Amino acid sequence: MRVDIISLFPSMFKGPFEESIIKRAREKSLLEIHLHNLREFATDTHRTVDDTPFGGGAGMVMKVEPIYRVLNYIKENLKKRIKVVLLSPQGKTLNQDIAFELVKEENIILICGRYEGVDERVREYLIDEELSIGDYVLSGGEIAAMVVVDAMARLLPGAVGDERSVKEDSFSRPLLDYAQYTRPVEFMGWKVPEVLRSGNHQKIGEWRIKNMLKKTLRNRPDLLEKANLTLEEKRWLEEIKKTLNLNS
């Protein structure tokens, strides 16, 4: 898959794209990343990429022409269908289902918004989708674009060493992950739960599901409604609720 990123700060991407899974995916040619500096596509000698908003108000707005020009430049070179995504706090919130959809695309362009906003004509005429990475405001779309690329890269077949870890991810089933432990069995008096060392796979499986239910109930109760729990899991959940009430 090829990802083109349009940004005013392309050097921000250097570190994150040169480590770990993204690095490996690039080395294996599973992922090709092209960075474009928006300023190079400004039309005036001052390389202006933003301007004051019509109607007044605080802050600057990113201009439509440089974005139009850089998109044309990328599209002329590629001559293929490309999905254009704007990163902004106004977008649809990224989740694992969206990451699965995005990774099906062969070519994606990510536009990193900056300043107080982007000329609305970019949304109306130039993009296919607008994505946010959560309900908070970053200083720009760059970190959000990194998040999108990371979420996609690990879904590319062959990018992650052990594919099981992708399949078993939390959100593949909408419950939070169960707790994991490794050696030593005891550290500072803190012990690994006995059942995980029992070798009894049925008991281990049961413990893990109960652990997922407990964590999800505590941190993301909203997910339980979409989780399609079996009757047995529903019963376990009720038991967990009772014990949590006793403890609180």
154 is catalytic: yes
- Least Å distance, CB 45 to ligand ADE, is 29
User: Is residue 117 a contact residue for ligand ADE (CB under 6 A)?
Assistant: no
**Region binding ligand ADE by CB under 6 A among candidate stretches 28-36, 127-135, 218-226, 231-239:** 127-135
**Region binding ligand ADE by CB under 6 A among candidate stretches 130-138, 174-182, 202-210, 222-230:** 130-138
Task: State which residue, 152 or 213, has the beta carbon closest to ligand ADE.
Answer: 152
Task: State which residue, 94 or 153, has the beta carbon closest to ligand ADE.
Answer: 94
16 is catalytic: no
- Least Å distance, CB 190 to ligand ADE, is 36
User: Is residue 113 a contact residue for ligand ADE (CB under 6 A)?
Assistant: yes
Contact set for ligand ADE, span 135-164 (CB under 6 A):
136-138, 140-141, 144
**What is d(CA 48, CA 67) in angstroms, rounded to the nearest whole number?**
12
Q: Which of 50, 66, 142, 154 is catalytic?
A: 154
CB 126 within 8 A of CB 68: yes
Size of the site for ligand ADE (CB under 6 A): 13
The only residue of 60, 89, 208, 240 in contact with ligand ADE, by rule CB under 6 A: 89
169 is catalytic: yes
The only residue of 132, 151, 152, 159 in contact with ligand ADE, by rule CB under 6 A: 132
Q: Which two tokens stand for residue 242?
A: 């009772």
User: Is residue 133 a contact residue for ligand ADE (CB under 6 A)?
Assistant: yes
Within 8 A by CB and 6+ apart from 229, the residues are 213, 237
- Least Å distance, CB 141 to ligand ADE, is 4
Q: Which of 89, 105, 177, 208 is catalytic?
A: 89
Task: State which residue, 65 or 129, has the beta carbon closest to ligand ADE.
Answer: 129
Q: Which of 116, 129, 150, 177 is catalytic?
A: 116
**What is d(CA 74, CA 247) in angstroms, rounded to the nearest whole number?**
58
Beta bridge partners of 87: 112, 131
Which residues are identified as catalytic?
A: 89, 116, 154, 169
Q: Which residues bind ligand ADE (CB under 6 A)?
A: 87-89, 113, 132-134, 136-138, 140-141, 144
